[in-house]
Amino acid sequence: MCRRGLNYSFLIVSILAVTVLLAFAACGDDDTSGPTATKAATGTAAAKIDVSNVPELKDGKLLIGSDIAYAPVEYYEEGTKNATGLDVDLAKALGQRLGVSVEFQQVADFSGIVGDLKVKRYDIVMSAISITPAREKDIDFVPYFGPVGTGILTPKGNPKGFKALEDLCGKKVAAQVGTYQVDQVTALNDGACKSNPINITTFPDNPASVLELTVGRVDAQMADDPVVAYNAQQSGGKLEVAATGFETATYGIGVRKDSPALKSALEKALKQIIDDGTYSKVLQKWGQEKFALKP
């Protein structure tokens, strides 16, 4: 773009100087679209909260333990190891406010996720974890989504006519190990279904329990409302949601009880993304507006 053929040395020097400046500016812009783009989006440039007193964030990263097989809350993009979903987008937004990058790490077993956090395998856990009194004895929570109830997934047409949890008495049901749904079935078998107990089969992840229903080995599958709705949608018309909204609970970000500074920082970051509309946009993206955190 240099204008050649001019003999005025001063003008040439000036143009060269401007060209060099523009070249440096262009290089800076290119960097934001390359490998450093994630850091620029989630790094110190976006920091709004002082985290100098948060030991877990000294390395500039928030390590998150999660069972990344619970779409649409968190899951891997098909054929990749790229985590995506509602929790992932919310975590990235929180990371921006904290001025750190975020990294999701697949847990070995969802039923052991609280124990893994307590022995410091992760900084926090964020995995569609319902806040329950039993879990609150072990770790602290930052509520961020819900309340959310349990849904019952069945073959298309709901051939067994499920309308309530008690309708599961005497039936075969699949669920993921360590989930609140397993606790619900246990309570039913100790109460309403005691004389005709539910035959529950548990699986290490949610997709495996859905497959058990798809192939006809169980009468129903249980999971959180957003998840059963997603699985029905993805089934090609083979499955449907028979009933939803049973025994609601709020999702929480799990934090160790000896991490009060981190918990406080997360609470501040969550308030910021709610106040500036980022939270609503993420929920809208995933079609989960009705489960926005209730005051």
pLDDT in tens, 191-222: 999 999 999 999 999 999 999 999 999 999 99
Token look-up 């060269």 returns 16
pLDDT score recorded for residue 170: 98
Token look-up 């246990």 returns 186
Give the Cα separation of 217 and 204 in Å (integer). Answer: 17
pLDDT score recorded for residue 47: 54
pLDDT score recorded for residue 275: 96
pLDDT score recorded for residue 295: 76
Residue 145 token pair = 């989504």
pTM (predicted TM-score): 0.81
In what side-by-side order are the strands of the sheet with 69-70? Answer: 69-70, 74-76, 83-84
pLDDT score recorded for residue 128: 97
Count Cβ atoms below 10 Å from residue 13 Cβ, excluding itself.
Answer: 10
In terms of DSSP H, where are the helices of 50-197? Answer: 86-98, 113-118, 133-136, 180-190
Residues 6+ apart with CB under 8 A from 161: 167
In what side-by-side order are the strands of the sheet with 101-106? Answer: 101-106, 61-66, 124-125, 239-255, 140-155, 220-224, 172-176, 199-203
pLDDT score recorded for residue 115: 96
52-63 as b/e, with b when 16 or more CB fall inside 10 Å? eebebbeeeebb
**What is the mean pLDDT for each group of 10 consecutive residues in the chain (295 residues)?**
35 36 39 32 57 97 97 96 97 97 96 96 97 96 97 98 98 96 97 98 97 98 97 96 96 98 98 97 96 90
Residue 200 carries which DSSP code?
E
